[in-house]
A = this chain, B = another copy of it.
């Protein structure tokens, strides 16, 4: 019987409760956003006592549905001031699902300066003192917890950035090898966890794939079908398994949409040096791995294990991190990118927000563009809590204010990811209108604009982008509720059997009769819930806009501007 685990940090009490009927068929983002909307006052201070932090495995997590180990984390974001869901791979989602935990809801704030650890085992849950873990990086925390509680445990933790309540702080958990690098990075949820003085959650479960399934035979058949669909598609069956996500560096660079030098150009002269191909070659040559699965049962295995020259291992360097800490800063050196990425992981920062922030600092002249060593030196200050370190950890919008920079690529306070909206206009619509702030994962129009998956919409023209983004945002919201990795969407968009197979798995697991329309309706409902929360938090259509400079400055090489009008952007929510 699935339960909610409620943790009251003010009273330091944990309790399991029944799952309300209305939450029974929600998981992942659908559940975190619903609980946040039901329980968090939209105007509350994200770091104050009324915010909550919610963890929820997806509907299919903990089964042997392929690539279904995403963990959703939700709350009110200190970065955007709106609702936030960020999800990550890693091993804890499956473990929580196997423990029958539908969601963990962390609320309140303890008095005093103590730090706590939430330990969850098949026997129950308890809050332990974690004073000895305070101030430690995520790698060390994870290593200590695996040493202390067993090498198979999943460890959800924050780094010093989250403890310092920095708005770019993420929440991480570990992969099967103990690498603490699977981040629900975006939106500062690490600071929300830090504000509750919860340093870590240790999840100990002997099971991975044994979440209850009502009709195992039917489930097995659907899962098998879905696996075959993933293996058959060129992106999920070949591109990602062979080169990982960073294969996109060359692709997006070729498309002229790789944001370079803080969104000043769409091509980077040294893109090849930080490409996925180069990454795979170097990783393997150093005894690392070109591909790697972030959780058991993933068939795409799009991660990697990149040994750094100093003996540390950055696992993985994902495309977005590679871009944010590479081309965006005019840095064309994978070892520098890897070192920056490692520091972000350890101190507990979102790599995208951090890269965008460093780009803003370079725009301001604080650090020279292309100077990797200066960037590393600056980033190392975050852990020391210096003034510069705190500015970096506060994200791009705050850094832009502190340094009087007008070229700040952020929407709703969140930095833009790795696709320039002037050369990939569909993703620009998603950046502008997603309730999450600038977020590529919430409606990945790059697929159709550039990868020609799910059809083709010319990335340089405004036509069709609003419809494209709307459909993807709806589908993605639903997908984010299943625990399936977003990357299955490549196959699902192209294969008419893809979505039915997902619905079959859900129906087999829960004994339901959901239709494809029900899934679409779920996606719409999630977006409506999130948007309503934001409306009540004070957001209007004026917040659904890109920064001014994208409409004013032409982006080489295509020399296009973002020319989708506000009234058109407002049509995204016309459903």
Report A's interface with B, CB cutoff 8 A.
42-45, 47-50, 78, 164-167, 191, 194-195, 386-388, 390-391, 394, 398, 401-404, 406, 536-540, 542-543, 545, 547-549, 552
B547 lies within 8 A of A536 (CB): no
Bound-complex Cα distance A388 to B43 (A) = 29
Q: How far is the CA of A536 from the CA of B545 in the complex (A)?
A: 13
Closest approach, in angstroms, between the C-beta of A549 and any C-beta of chain B? 8
Q: Beyond A195-B404, A402-B402, A540-B540: 11 further Cβ-contacts under 8 Å?
A: A42-B542, A47-B406, A49-B552, A50-B548, A165-B403, A386-B387, A387-B387, A394-B402, A538-B539, A538-B540, A538-B543
User: Does A394 lie within 8 Å of B401, measured CB to CB?
Assistant: yes
Q: What distance in Å separates the Cβ of A304 from its nearest Cβ neighbour in chain B?
A: 33
- The distance from the CB of A80 to the nearest CB of chain B, in whole angstroms, is 12
Whether the Cβ atoms of A548 and B402 lie closer than 8 Å is: no
Q: Chain A binding site: helix, strand, loop or mixed by DSSP?
A: loop
**Closest B residue, CB atoms, query A542:** B538
A43 near B538 (CB under 8 angstroms)? no
Residue among B47, B191, B536 making CB contact with A542, cutoff 8 Å: B536
- Bound-state Cα–Cα, A548 to B545, Å: 28
Assembly CA distance A135 to B247 (angstroms): 48
Q: Nearest 4 CB-CB pairs, A to B?
A: A165-B404, A538-B542, A387-B387, A387-B388
* A222 CB, nearest partner CB in chain B, Å: 45
11 CB contacts below 8 A, A to B, read A42-B542, A45-B406, A45-B547, A165-B404, A191-B404, A195-B406, A387-B388, A387-B402, A390-B402, A398-B401, A538-B539
Q: Specify the chain B residue showing the minimal Cβ separation from A386.
A: B387
Which residue, of A42, A47, A165, A402, has the highest number of chain B Cβ atoms within 10 A?
Answer: A402
CA A403 – CA B164 in complex, angstroms? 7
Q: Inside 8 A of A43's CB, which chain B residues have their CB?
A: 542, 545
Q: How many copies does the complex hold?
A: 2
Contact residues in B for A165 (Cβ distance below 8 Å) = 403-404
Please name the residue on chain B nearest to A163 by beta carbon: B404
Q: Are A390 and B406 in contact (CB under 8 A)?
A: no
> For A402, what are the chain B residues with a Cβ–Cβ distance below 8 Å?
387, 390-391, 394, 398, 402
Taken together as a complex, chains A and B put the C-alpha atoms of A536 and B566 apart, in Å, by 12
Name the CB-closest residue of B to A389.
Answer: B387
For the complex formed, measure the closest distance between the CB of A39 and the CB atoms of chain B, giving whole angstroms.
16
Which of A166, A195, A401 has most chain B Cβ within 10 Å? A401
Residue of chain B at shortest CB distance from A566? B43
Contact call A404/B164, Cβ cutoff below 8 A? yes
Complex alpha-carbon distance, A390 and B387, angstroms: 10
Residues of B within 8 A of A387 (CB): 386-388, 391, 402
Residue of B nearest to A535 (CB): B540
Q: Which chain B residues border A545 with CB–CB below 8 Å?
A: 43
**In the complex, A6→B164 CA distance in Å?**
48
Partner of A548, one of B45, B166, B398, B540: B45
Task: Collect the chain B residues with CB atoms within 8 Å of residue A50's CB.
Answer: 548
Known A-B contacts A164-B404, A404-B166, A540-B540; the reply to A548 vs B48 at CB < 8 A is: yes
Taking the nearest CB of chain B, how far is it from the CB of A280, in angstroms? 39
Indicate if the CB atoms of A406 and B166 lie closer than 8 Å: no
